[in-house]
């Protein structure tokens, strides 16, 4: 069985091993497609938090069931399934509150434990969701879109409210579209004009602001001076994370989806004056996955333009380095097994 392992920062190797054996309460899955996300790119570069080497990456998965026991979902061998890649302990304080996405002992496939860049994998049955009529490409983007769905749920964004999304990468684009479908007034911010053009032309965002311009003034103009009810960071960059408060209305909310390894600094008078609600959003829950699947089933998400690059797993090593270069126009890269 072939698999791709990130042996150390900057190095992938294609190796071979025996197929995994399924344990009790687990399913043996055939990997169909794997989406590449910022976590994978950061891990390859050596600057991803919570990560150790060597590691088989991959947590955005489209799969087919090869073996499975009786299960509450009614999933059978031969079914195509979406994988929620967050293994929770079900016992800690977070799990007892239903917040399995931030379990104190969480193990994320492709980060804390080996992920899906291999021909076959075993995962607990309760991480599987029937894919229904979704295509393999749609299945593989459920996870990144669920990250956005969770952030919007954390923000409690309401129809008609104004949302600023910083960062038009794969996560940010998902947030923009889901918020637009929910009836929000959406403003996209990015330094990459090509990403902003994509947000306007493919997502349908009315307002796209280049981060190199006078951002505060533009948002003030768009909102008639009120600023944004909700701001979401999907960049993970320190300077962007620290600037989000400036775009937020008094009484608004700021949700941090992007992850920075360092410390952040906010001016207390600024956040106090606005009675700011500052929230972090980590991973997603089963509820978020189901929400995204229902959206994808409607065909409302522009998947054909969202997935910009697709290669076979044996060719991935030659392409992976270039996927982090903005000049190559990558939004979502996909590996086919």
Q: How many CB atoms lie within 10 A of CB 221?
A: 12
Please report whether residue 66 resides in a domain: yes
Q: Which pLDDT belongs to residue 121?
A: 98
Is residue 201 within 8 A of residue 176, CB to CB? The reply is no
91 occurs within a structural domain: yes
Residue 125: name the closest of 75, 61, 64 by CA: 75
Which helix (H) or strand (E) segment holds residue 217: the answer is helix 215-222
Residue with tokens 């009315």: 206
10-residue mean pLDDT series, the chain (337 residues): 95 95 96 94 81 94 97 96 97 97 97 96 97 97 98 97 97 98 97 96 96 97 98 96 98 95 93 98 97 97 97 95 90 97
Residue 93 lies in a domain: yes
**Taking a C-beta distance cutoff of 8 angstroms, is the pair 231, 244 a contact?**
yes
Residue 153, pLDDT score: 98
The verdict on residue 203 lying in a domain is: yes
Using DSSP, state whether 220 is helix, strand or coil.
helix
φ, ψ (nearest 5 deg) of residue 95? -65, -40
Q: Which domain holds residue 226?
A: 148-280
Task: Give a yes or no: residue 159 inside a domain.
Answer: yes
**Total domains in the fold of the chain:** 2
CA nearest to 65, candidates 137, 122, 3: 122
- Using the structure block, give the residue that is written with the tokens 């969202």: 306
Predicted local distance difference test score (pLDDT) of residue 42? 85
153 plus 251 within the same structural domain? yes
Q: 83: alpha, beta or left, given left = phi > 0 and alpha = psi -120 to 50?
A: beta
pLDDT for residue 49: 67
């Amino acid at each position: 069985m072939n698999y791709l392992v990130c042996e150390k920062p900057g190095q992938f190797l294609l190796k071979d091993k025996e197929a995994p054996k399924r344990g009790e309460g687990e399913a043996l899955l055939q990997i169909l497609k794997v989406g590449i996300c910022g976590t994978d790119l950061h891990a390859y570069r050596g600057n991803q938090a919570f990560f150790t080497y060597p590691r088989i990456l991959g947590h955005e998965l489209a799969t087919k069931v090869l073996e499975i026991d009786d299960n509450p979902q009614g999933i059978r061998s031969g079914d195509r399934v979406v994988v929620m890649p967050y293994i929770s302990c079900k016992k800690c304080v977070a799990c007892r509150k239903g917040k399995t996405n931030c379990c104190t002992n969480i193990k994320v496939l492709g980060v804390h434990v080996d992920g899906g860049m291999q021909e076959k994998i075993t995962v607990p049955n309760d991480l599987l969701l029937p894919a229904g009529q979704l295509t393999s490409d749609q299945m593989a983007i459920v996870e990144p879109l669920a990250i956005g769905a969770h952030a919007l749920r954390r923000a409690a964004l309401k129809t008609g409210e104004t949302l600023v999304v910083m960062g038009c990468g794969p996560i940010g684009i998902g947030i923009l579209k889901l918020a637009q479908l929910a009836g929000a007034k959406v403003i996209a911010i990015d330094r990459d004009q090509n990403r902003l053009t994509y947000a306007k032309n493919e997502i349908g965002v009315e307002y796209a602001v280049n981060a190199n311009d006078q951002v505060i003034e533009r948002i003030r103009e768009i909102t008639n001076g009120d600023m944004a009810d909700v701001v979401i960071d999907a960049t993970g960059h320190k300077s962007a994370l620290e600037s989000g408060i400036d775009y937020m209305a008094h009484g608004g909310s700021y949700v941090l989806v992007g992850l920075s390894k360092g410390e952040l600094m906010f001016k207390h008078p600024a956040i106090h004056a606005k009675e700011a609600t500052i929230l972090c959003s980590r991973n997603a829950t089963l509820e978020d996955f189901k929400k995204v699947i229902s959206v994808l089933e409607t065909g409302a998400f522009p998947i054909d333009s969202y997935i910009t690059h697709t290669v076979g797993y044996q060719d991935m090593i030659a392409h992976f380095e270039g996927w982090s270069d903005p000049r190559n126009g990558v939004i979502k890269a996909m590996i086919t097994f």
